[in-house]
Amino acid sequence: MKQGGQRMKKSGSRIFYLFTLLILLFTLTAMSACYGTATPTPTPTPTSSPTSSPTTGGQAVTIDLVTRNMAFDKTTITVPAGALMTINFDNQDSVPHNFALYTDSSAATSIFVGQTIGKGSLTYKFTAPSTPGSYFFRCDVHPTSMTGTFVVS
């Protein structure tokens, strides 16, 4: 009885040892598998000279912009440099609005001035600046109350 119990204990600890080994092996393979899938796909580095036209190869970005109750539904729009912008503009007010992008809040230099529309929707298409920074957008009809920041990252 005593011997049997001891043998049981011994084989039990051996099983426990093997079990721990198995767990270790399993975690190791799982970890290596994780590492395998976690490696980011290499992003193609631009081989063309940086002086080439920035309008080519820009990332297409589509944004829904709604004007309602005399306000834009977004006060910050962030896009990658040189993005090929599509803005689905939806004016839900009966008052006319537009979307216009300027270099800064003085609105002295425009980058894109969208058509002003009454209630309804239209699509604006333009290329975002290629230089990262903070730009300024507004509704030209309400230049002080309807404003926002256009961030080029």
Q: Which of residues 78-97 bind Cu ion (CB under 5 A)?
A: 97
DSSP state at residue 117: B
- Three-state helix/strand/coil letters over 44-110: CCCCCCCCCCCCCCCCEEEEEEEEECCEECCCEEEECCCCEEEEEEEECCCCCECCEEECCCCCCCE
The minimum distance between CB 48 and Cu ion, in angstroms, equals 40
Quick check: 74 binds Cu ion (CB under 5 A)?
A: no
Shortest distance, position 88 Cβ to Cu ion, whole Å: 17
What is the three-class DSSP state of 3?
helix
* Interface with Cu ion, residue 141, by CB under 5 A: yes
Asked if residue 138 lies in contact with residue 147, where contact means CB atoms within 8 angstroms, the answer is yes
Please select the residue that binds Cu ion; options are 116, 122, 142, 149, rule is CB under 5 A: 142
Nearer to Cu ion by Cβ, of 55 and 75: the residue is 75
**Dist CA 117 CA 89 (whole Å):** 9
Looking at the Cβ atoms of 11 and 92, the one nearer to Cu ion is: 92
Q: Provide, rounded to whole angstroms, the least separation between the CB of residue 62 and Cu ion.
A: 22
Counting contacts by CB under 5 A, is residue 138 touching Cu ion?
Answer: no
d(CA 120, CA 88): 11
Taking CB under 5 A as the criterion, the residue among 83, 100, 128, 139 binding Cu ion is 139
Q: Is the Cβ of residue 66 or residue 151 nearer to Cu ion in the bound state?
A: 66
83 or 97: CB nearest Cu ion: 97
